[in-house]
Amino acid sequence: MNLDRFYPIFDSAAWIERLVPLGIKLVQLRIKDQSEGALRREIRRAKLACDDHNCTLVINDYWRLAIEENCSFIHLGQEDLDQADVIQIRSEGLKLGLSTHDKAELARALACQPDYLALGPIYPTILKKMKWHEQGVEKLTTWKAMVGDTPLVAIGGMSVERARGAFEAGADCVAAVTDITLNPDPEARVRAWLAATR
C-alpha cells in the first residue's frame, strides 16, 4: 500500500478536527487512560472529520473499538500485540501498523504481515518514557533492507528539519507528534510538514 509521507499523531479528536482540513491524508488517534464511552466518542468525532476530508484514520491500540466503529486501520505497539487477535483484526478487513524497536520485535511484526512498520525513537523523544534509546537514522537504512516493500515509518523526535534525513535513510513516511502540538502555531507547522513531504 502507499502511505502518505506525513503521519501526524494526535491525542484528541479536537486536534484532528482542527488540523486535518489543512490537507493531512494520514493521521493517528492515540488516546490513553480514558473510559470506553469517552474513547468511543473521540473515535466517532475523529472518524467523521477524517471521512469529510478524505483522510485515513489510524486508531492506536483499541482494536475492538475500531472494529465496532467501522474504522479501517489500527496501530499496535508490541505490548498491545500481546493482547490483540490479529486473525480477527484481519478477518474484519482492518489494515495494521506495528511498532518495532529491535530485531526480535521486527521479526515478530513481519510475521503479522503488517501494512506498515514503525521504527523509533529515531531521536530522543519527550512523549513517553521508553526503555529504548534513540535509534538514529542509520537504523532506518538497516530496517528498510529487512522490510523490503513494507512501508517504513520513522517516529520519535521527528521534526520538519529532520524529515529529509529520515527519508534519505530509507523511511517511506515520517510521524510527528510534539513538533506540531507543542508548536506555538500548529497550523503553520502542519503546512510546513505538507510542503516538506509532498
Task: For each of the domains in the chain, give its residue range(s) and CATH number, in order of start.
Answer: 6-197 (3.20.20.70)
What percentage of the chain exceeds 90 in pLDDT? 92
Could you give the CA distance from residue 92 to residue 196 in angstroms, rounded to a whole number?
35
pTM: 0.96
For 112-140, write each residue's pLDDT tens digit: 999 999 999 999 876 656 566 788 999 99
Predicted pLDDT at 128: 58
Residues 6+ apart with CB under 8 A from 177: 8, 9, 10, 125, 127, 155
Predicted pLDDT at 132: 64
Report whether pLDDT(187) > 70. yes
Report whether pLDDT(64) > 70. yes
31-62 per-residue burial string, b: 16 or more CB within 10 A, e: under 16: beeeeeeebeebbebbbebbeebebbbbbbbb
The three cell numbers of residue 106 are 521486527
- Local structure of residue 62 (DSSP, 8 states): -
| Cβ 166 vs Cβ 139: under 8 Å | no
Predicted pLDDT at 130: 59
Report whether pLDDT(1) > 90. no
Report whether pLDDT(86) > 90. yes
Q: What is the pLDDT averaged over residues 135-163? A: 96
Of 125 and 158, the structure prediction assigns the larger pLDDT to 158
Q: What is the pLDDT averaged over residues 36-54? A: 98
Name the residue type at position 135. Answer: Q
Predicted pLDDT at 2: 85
How would residue 58 be classed by pLDDT, with cut points 50, 70 and 90?
A: very high
Report whether pLDDT(93) > 70. yes
Name the residue type at position 106. Answer: L
